[in-house]
Amino acid sequence: MTKIKTLETILYRFPLPEPVEAAAAGVMSEFELVMVRLRNTDGVEGSGYTALMVNQGAAVAKIIENVCADIVKVADPRKIEWIWSQMWKTHHYAGRGAPFSFAIAAVDTALWDLRGNTLEEPLWRLLGGYNPTVRAYAGNIDLNFPVDKLLEGASKSLEAGFRSIKMRLGKPTLREDIARVAAMREHLGPDVELMTDANEAWRPDQALRALRALRDFDLVWVEEPIQPYNFSGYAHLRANGGIPLSAGENLHTIAEFAALISAGGVDFPEPDLTTCGGITPWIKIAHLADAHGLPITSHGAHDIHVHLLAAVPNNAYLEVHGFGLDPYIEHSIEIREGFATAPDRPGHGMIFDWEGLEAFRVN
């Protein structure tokens, strides 16, 4: 039986091209990536990663080294569900969510990539094989941008091929948010889809007032209007706000998605494989949404999420974020007429410039 011969955990820190702001996170100028590189006894490789804010990666890397590595090295790497369960059980007392879900995510993704590379199949076909082409949107982070820069960013996204664009909400006054959305809707015209993301900016009463004031702008959704665990609050806003809701980047377990969905709190569940425990739970959450008649969207990590969305029939939108990693990937994602296509390269198909990445290595 083929086994895992080496597991390497690497922590990178990248500067962002310019500082960006979202309500919950504040201003961000750097981000961290914890990368797992596997090689099996046949010499086949697999890689996976999770993304974090600055000074959060070292703890996650340590969890992988201290706990996950030993489980992976003795297991049959084809038994991904078994390995995932072992990692979950081993972490259960201090875990059942973040930061352990981030650590498990990097390992799980590397195992799926290894499987794809071994079978010479792209992930989107291995995981279900629905349709490689999925609708994409530009997930701009722009709360700190003045209006002219906000609109300029939208124009750049349109030139890059997007037909759907997201902007941030959560300014100190609702009046300011409304003015920014009005300027954006006027700039885009009626045919470009517009999403918004409040990044937990509001209390439930403020959120309800905001949703009602935003009804005239034909929004695809308002994302994370309130704190992520207030499932009854989400249900109240969904029933009374008049605009579809999306949420999920700050949920870290399948159980949390099940609770939000069954509370009737979300129109577009938005799991992030790097925060919810990897590809294995992401696909289950997508099927859970499908069973409730809901579409699925994604958050971050677009080069891998394009496969996961392409695997399932209820895919809605791929969020595309430029986080400055593109120069170190051989094929960066292309958007044509609003759509992205999952590659036919095996595994996740991300071919990293490992030497170039060394400049950003922390450990």
Least gap, CB of 133 to Mg ion (angstroms): 24
Smallest distance, Mg ion to C-beta of residue 227, A: 13
User: Smallest distance from the beta carbon of 225 to Mg ion, in angstroms?
Assistant: 11
Q: Indicate the residue among 91 and 180 with the shorter CB distance to Mg ion.
A: 180
Closest approach, Cβ 226 to Mg ion, in A, equals 13
- Residues 222, 275, 314: CA angle, nearest 5 degrees: 55
Q: Which helix (H) or strand (E) segment is 182 a member of?
A: helix 174-188
CA dihedral 354, 356, 360, 362 (to 10 degrees): 40
Residue 225 or 281: the one with the smaller Cβ distance to Mg ion is 225
Torsion over CA of 181, 184, 186 and 190, rounded to 10 degrees? Answer: -90
Beta carbon nearer to Mg ion, 111 or 243: 243
Query: Closest residue to Mg ion, Cβ-based?
Result: 197
Please enumerate in sequence order all residues whose Cβ is within 8 A of that of 285, keeping only pairs 6 or more positions apart, or say none. 248, 254, 257, 269, 271, 276, 296
Sign of the CA dihedral running 321, 327, 329, 335:
positive
Q: Which segments within the chain are labelled E, that is strand?
A: 4-22, 26-40, 45-53, 133-139, 164-168, 193-197, 219-223, 245-247, 268-269, 296-297, 315-320, 335-336, 339-341
CA distance 319 to 13: 22
> 80 or 201: whose CB is closer to Mg ion?
201
- Residues in the site for Mg ion, rule: CB under 5 A? 197, 223
Query: Apex CA 57: angle with CA 38 and CA 322, to 5°?
Result: 85
| Minimum CB distance to Mg ion, residue 251 (Å) | 12
Q: Which is nearer to Mg ion, 193 or 197 (CB)?
A: 197
In 3D space, the residue among 276, 11, 223, 24 whose CA is nearest the CA of residue 143 turns out to be 24
Q: Which is nearer to Mg ion, 197 or 267 (CB)?
A: 197
Q: Which is nearer to Mg ion, 124 or 257 (by Cβ)? A: 257
Least separation in angstroms between residue 223's CB and Mg ion is 5
